Chains A and B, each alone.
Chain A
């Protein structure tokens, strides 16, 4: 009975989505497909969060199956203030071997963005506030200074630059590195955006040092962006009282006709596991096929080795996600993720099926 209600609910979400509907958070495949850098569509030079003029126009006139007409929402409130928001809600079914399936509706998150221009083209204050579920929580809040030379400096709380800023924070590469859109950090970031290069380096407290009086994290990346493809390298060092962490990664994107490819491989060395260090390896390959306007098929294959010194502990995750953007500012995502791990751990062999409605403005 409950299963039937769950499926009925899912169908209702899809129907409602089609009838009303909105699209995506950070989706680097779009940047690869359009031969753009992250700052091509986002206010934040490293991507994610609020969209800029081009990003807003893109989401209205290029991304949807049925593009919007002129005069839609631009995000601008006057010349010096830009507002935005993000809402994700949906239904999911989680199946774990030898456990009852769990099917539920969730309001995943509601976020509001604001970008205050203090000196046009130079100085701005950006805020990303998560307002639901639960109490309000600041995800990002920073001052950004930049000029026409391509250099910029931001200080405050922000997401760290390391690899692809994927929409899915549960991807192995984002979970294992601890650098994702759920774990902002506080510090300063220096960046340079010019021609084919997009580079950033940040000095922060380090999320692992949240309670410590000392410790820091240095993280940076450099991306060489060419027509059709790009190649990036990232590195991070976290000094911590309870053990340091070093990470290095390479990531790349390629655009071939209707298909965009993303790949990332990261290596992590952690001294936090006493008595010895532990080394991880994690990778993702992602294919995005633009079936037709407003329709994208996303296939991902992921790999996670939780300790390179231990054999037969490797995990995989496979995902099929179909994304439909019927109208401007709205997206529906239907997907299935299959986890594969050691047979004695049921959670490593779970299945997730989901329907998500994502709206933004």
Chain B
């Protein structure tokens, strides 16, 4: 051990290590070329490329995904706020801030009372100005977020009515092909779910045969839950790993007593069982 100490303390050793690090740094200068990627570093085509405008999807693509979700994503997201595309809307709009529970993160119609604006502008009472460590968003960019909130903080003004109770997003999305079976299927809605109605809803996870589309799917046991942190999301959690194959999630409502929001609105275009919601996805390369 003494000999080792003498060796690593010698100037020659230090020079060699310095030299090694230098060349390692040169060789590992492996910054991505960005080829085939969008501004967020995601493969082209994965998300729509929109100019920055006061619409949620545009704000997601230009601000939340490329800037905020570097930290605000995954199981360790600060303050439980995930700003990746699958979760951000449901964790922002109408949800109380954890740092200042009396203030909503986004209060539709009122940007000054929205915590996200306070955090972006550096006027929040608690914590760091965001984005953490800077650079902070230009006033013109924050103005776009303000405008989106002023106009009601809609999920997607072009397709979703603020008054309706509708499915706004799913993950996986209909038609997705996944490399591995998802741990859960997430259904996002435009309004808070009435959790008392979950038990009466007919929600099924099925394995299906694409060659025989009329056949009834093979039922797969699954747990259905509304996460406490996100009352607009419904999780369908398989009771077993989803192996290679085709699957679908069906929300049926033959008796008009299924999913509803807190005001008792049934799912848009869904009452009476005539328009079941169906999300199909494939695990593996099955054709």
Residues 7-18 of chain B, each 1 if its beta carbon lies under 8 Å from chain A, else 0: 011110110011
Stretch at the interface among A15-23, A144-152, A274-282: A274-282
Main secondary structure of the interface of A (DSSP, over half): loop
Q: Is A306 an interface residue (CB 8 A)?
A: yes
What A residues does B29 contact at CB under 8 A?
316, 340
Q: Is the CB of B95 within 8 A of A211?
A: yes
Q: Is the CB of A176 within 8 A of B8?
A: no
What A residues does B30 contact at CB under 8 A?
303, 314, 316
From 166 to 198 in chain B, residues with beta carbon under 8 angstroms from any chain A beta carbon are 171-173, 176, 178-180, 182-184, 186
Q: How many residues on A have C-beta within 8 angstroms of the other chain's C-beta atoms?
A: 80
Residues 112-147 of chain B, each 1 if its beta carbon lies under 8 Å from chain A, else 0: 000000000000111110001111101000000000
Q: Is the CB of B86 within 8 A of A273?
A: yes
Q: Is the CB of B14 within 8 A of A179?
A: no
Q: Is the CB of B183 within 8 A of A271?
A: yes
Stretch at the interface among A39-47, A189-197, A202-210, A328-336: A202-210
Partner of A342, one of B34, B82, B87: B34
Residues 10-42 of chain A, each 1 if its beta carbon lies under 8 Å from chain B, else 0: 000000000000000000000000000000000
Q: Is B98 an interface residue (CB 8 A)?
A: yes
Q: Is the CB of B78 within 8 A of A244?
A: no
Considering the chains assembled together, what is the distance between the CA atoms of A254 and B186 in angstroms? 47
Q: Look across to chain B and name the residue whose beta carbon is closest to the beta carbon of A213.
A: B228
**Given known contacts A254-B8, A276-B179, A314 and B32 CB-to-CB distance under 8 angstroms:** yes
Q: Is the CB of B135 within 8 A of A274?
A: no
Q: Is A245 an interface residue (CB 8 A)?
A: yes
What A residues does B235 contact at CB under 8 A?
241
**Given known contacts A134-B124, A134-B127, A170-B132, A342 and B32 CB-to-CB distance under 8 angstroms:** yes
**Given known contacts A243-B183, A271-B183, A342 and B33 CB-to-CB distance under 8 angstroms:** yes
Considering the chains assembled together, what is the distance between the CA atoms of A236 and B76 in angstroms? 10
Considering the chains assembled together, what is the distance between the CA atoms of A99 and B171 in angstroms? 36
Q: Is the CB of A313 within 8 A of B14?
A: no
Q: Is the CB of A340 within 8 A of B31?
A: yes
Main secondary structure of the interface of B (DSSP, over half): loop
Q: Is the CB of A313 within 8 A of B37?
A: yes
Partner of B76, one of A208, A258, A275: A208
Q: Is B213 an interface residue (CB 8 A)?
A: no
What B residues does A239 contact at CB under 8 A?
75
Q: Is the CB of A310 within 8 A of B76?
A: no
From 69 to 89 in chain B, residues with beta carbon under 8 angstroms from any chain A beta carbon are 70-71, 73-82, 84, 86-87
Q: Is the CB of A94 within 8 A of B32?
A: no
Q: Is the CB of B34 within 8 A of A272?
A: no
Q: Is A312 an interface residue (CB 8 A)?
A: yes
What B residues does A3 contact at CB under 8 A?
none
How many pairs, one residue from A and one from B, have CB atoms within 8 Å of each other in the complex?
238
Q: Is A217 an interface residue (CB 8 A)?
A: yes
**Given known contacts A134-B127, A242-B82, A310 and B43 CB-to-CB distance under 8 angstroms:** yes
Q: Is B229 an interface residue (CB 8 A)?
A: yes
What B residues does A170 contact at CB under 8 A?
132-133
Residue from the set B73, B78, B180 with the largest chain A CB neighbour count within 10 Å: B73
Q: Is the CB of A228 within 8 A of B76?
A: no
Residue from the set A96, A243, A310 with the largest chain B CB neighbour count within 10 Å: A243
Q: Look across to chain A and name the residue whose beta carbon is closest to the beta carbon of B123.
A: A134
Partner of A207, one of B37, B80, B281: B80
Q: Is B25 an interface residue (CB 8 A)?
A: yes
Considering the chains assembled together, what is the distance between the CA atoms of A214 and B229 in angstroms? 9
Considering the chains assembled together, what is the distance between the CA atoms of A20 and B216 in angstroms? 80
Q: Is B286 an interface residue (CB 8 A)?
A: no
Considering the chains assembled together, what is the distance between the CA atoms of A182 and B138 in angstroms? 24
Stretch at the interface among A81-89, A112-120, A121-129, A343-351: A343-351
Q: Is A212 an interface residue (CB 8 A)?
A: yes
Q: Is A227 an interface residue (CB 8 A)?
A: yes
Q: Is A74 an interface residue (CB 8 A)?
A: no
Q: Is the CB of B38 within 8 A of A344?
A: yes
Q: Is B1 an interface residue (CB 8 A)?
A: yes
From 201 to 256 in chain B, residues with beta carbon under 8 angstroms from any chain A beta carbon are 225, 227-230, 233, 235
What B residues does A175 contact at CB under 8 A?
70-71, 132-133
Q: Which 9 pairs, one residue from A and one from B, show the smallest C-beta to C-beta distance?
A: A245-B75, A178-B76, A342-B34, A274-B171, A210-B80, A275-B172, A238-B75, A241-B227, A270-B74
